[in-house]
Amino acid sequence: MLSCSYYTLALAFLGLVVIFLFLLNSLWGVLQAIRYILAPFFIPNEENASLAKRYGSWALITGSTDGIGKAYASELAKRGINTVLVSRNREKLENTAREIESKYSVKTKIIAADFSTGRKAIEVVKEEIGGIPIGILVNNVGQNYEYPMYLSEVPENDLWDIINLNVGAATMMCRTFIKEMEERGKGAIVNVSSGAELQPLPLMTVYAATKAYIRSFTNALRYEYGSSGLTIQHLTPFFVNTKMNKFSDKFQRTSLMVPDAEMYARYAVATLGKQDKSTGYWSHGIQSFFTELIPEWARMHVGGRMNEGIRREYIEKHKLKAA
Ligand SMILES: NC(=O)c1ccc[n+]([C@@H]2O[C@H](COP(=O)([O-])OP(=O)(O)OC[C@H]3O[C@@H](n4cnc5c(N)ncnc54)[C@H](OP(=O)(O)O)[C@@H]3O)[C@@H](O)[C@H]2O)c1
């Protein structure tokens, strides 16, 4: 009888310890989540300076005259990083550079290069960079279909552009700058992928496949160069309100799940050097967590149905416009 109550007491005590640890862990999780959500709004001075100190004072961002790339460049400039802006349109580049310089008192350099030209664009970057030591390379440039389509409907030129921008540019820009980063023993590469990489995505088949390439490429690259002191980040945004999603009104409205590019970049830059793989945005992290609980075949099916819906809407809308 006595021993029975002893065991009951011991078990109750053990139970209390487990509950206490569970609550402590949950509280820690909640505090971490609050810290993560608020962090981008309170950038301590030492954190501002730390990116430049850790990686170097110059960053190069591809596709930086609009959307995520422009916002990311501005966020880096806010932290005192000088920026090399690379896009295809010189006038937009000049305007963006002026805006960044006047807001954040940093230096900028512009390079007009059209990544759809493949190796020619990489040669232009190499010629024009003029020995600037690139500490942070952000491979952001990318293209999607005009709207969800079956493979044979996508214009051939668009497919080449998507492959050249999403795969070719990221690969060859890494090849161009990684050696000198390795020699300096410091540097960061951010490869911008997409939630589309998580499963095959019908009606955006090639776009999703290029992003799966980025995931594989980036993770293997980290294995090759991580021990040389380089940060190689794989960034996977879900929907962000930019002109890339102009095929759907739903994704052209800013919401909790669809941030604008500025809000997205504010969070994404805050993850640099802290997370090797990140969605870059708190609500995208939640989306990613729940998405990955579903089997891949089911996700592909849901994605395909979603794209069929968007396609119908798009075709309907453009017919209406034509009428
Ligand atoms: N938006 C999203 O929901 C979303 C979601 C997941 C992943 N992503 C990824 O995030 C990245 C940025 O997307 P975004 O939505 O910010 O795109 P965006 O708003 O369309 O901006 C693309 C940027 O790239 C430039 N660009 C386009 N074609 C180019 C070319 N041939 N050569 C050089 N520069 C070129 C554009 O310049 P112009 O102004 O001259 O066009 C613009 O500055 C992409 O890799 C995309 O796949 C986006």
Closest C-alpha among 24, 97, 88, 85 to residue 60? 85
Exposure b/e, 127-139, CB count within 10 A at least 16 = b: eebeeeebbbbbb
Residues framing ligand 1 (Cβ under 6 A): 63-69, 87-89, 92, 114-116, 140-143, 165, 192, 194, 237, 239-240, 242-245, 261
Give me the pLDDT at residue 6, please. Answer: 83
pLDDT over threshold 80, residue 176:
yes
pLDDT over threshold 90, residue 40:
no
Report whether 134 contacts 58 (CB < 8 A): yes
pLDDT over threshold 50, residue 296:
yes
pLDDT (average), residues 274-296: 96
Q: Does 202 reside within a domain?
A: yes
In angstroms, rounded to a whole number, what is the distance separating the alpha carbons of residues 48 and 43?
7
Task: Specify the higher pLDDT residue, 314 or 320.
Answer: 314
Closest C-alpha among 280, 254, 257, 283 to residue 269? 280
Using 50, 70 and 90 to split pLDDT, how confident is the model at 44? low
Q: Does 3 reside within a domain?
A: no
Domain with residue 59: its CATH number is 3.40.50.720
Q: Does 1 reside within a domain?
A: no
> For residue 143, which atom of ligand 1 is closest to its CA?
47
Report whether 73 contacts 64 (CB < 8 A): yes
In angstroms, rounded to a whole number, what is the distance separating the alpha carbons of residues 168 and 283?
30
How far, in Å, from the CA of 193 to the mean position of ligand 1? 11
Range of 291's domain?
52-322
Give me the pLDDT at residue 46, please. Answer: 56
Written as six digits, the tokens of 139 are 């491979």
pLDDT over threshold 90, residue 49:
no
Q: Does 282 reside within a domain?
A: yes
Our answer to whether residue 213 is catalytic in this structure is no
In angstroms, rounded to a whole number, what is the distance separating the alpha carbons of residues 278 and 296?
20
Give me the pLDDT at residue 41, please. Answer: 65
Q: Does 239 reside within a domain?
A: yes
Q: Which residue has the CA at smallest separation from atom 24 of ligand 1?
A: 63
> For residue 116, which atom of ligand 1 is closest to its CA?
31
In terms of Cβ atoms closer than 10 Å to its own Cβ (0-12, 13-18, 19+), residue 183 is exposed
Written as six digits, the tokens of 113 are 């290069």
Give me the pLDDT at residue 28, please. Answer: 73
In terms of Cβ atoms closer than 10 Å to its own Cβ (0-12, 13-18, 19+), residue 8 is exposed
Give me the pLDDT at residue 7, please. Answer: 86
Using a pLDDT cut of 90, give the percent of the chain over it. 83
Q: Give the least confident one: 41-55, 144-158, 231-245.
A: 41-55
Which among 119, 242, 245 is the best mutation to test ligand 1's pocket, defined by most ligand atoms within 8 Å of the CB? 242
User: What one-character DSSP code corresponds to residue 277?
Assistant: E
pLDDT over threshold 50, residue 224:
yes
pLDDT over threshold 90, residue 39:
no
Report whether 101 contacts 84 (CB < 8 A): no
Catalytic site residue from 72, 147, 207, 314: 207
Give me the pLDDT at residue 140, please. Answer: 98
The count of domains in the chain is 1
AA identity, residue 58: W
Give me the pLDDT at residue 323, please. Answer: 45
Task: Specify the higher pLDDT residue, 78 or 322.
Answer: 78
pLDDT over threshold 90, residue 48:
no
| Average confidence score pLDDT of the chain | 93
Q: Does 17 reside within a domain?
A: no
Report whether 76 contacts 137 (CB < 8 A): no
In angstroms, rounded to a whole number, what is the distance separating the alpha carbons of residues 323 and 316?
11
Q: Does 217 reside within a domain?
A: yes
Closest C-alpha among 30, 35, 24 to residue 274? 35
pLDDT (average), residues 296-300: 97
Q: Does 130 reside within a domain?
A: yes
User: What one-character DSSP code corresponds to residue 273?
Assistant: T
Using 50, 70 and 90 to split pLDDT, how confident is the model at 26? confident
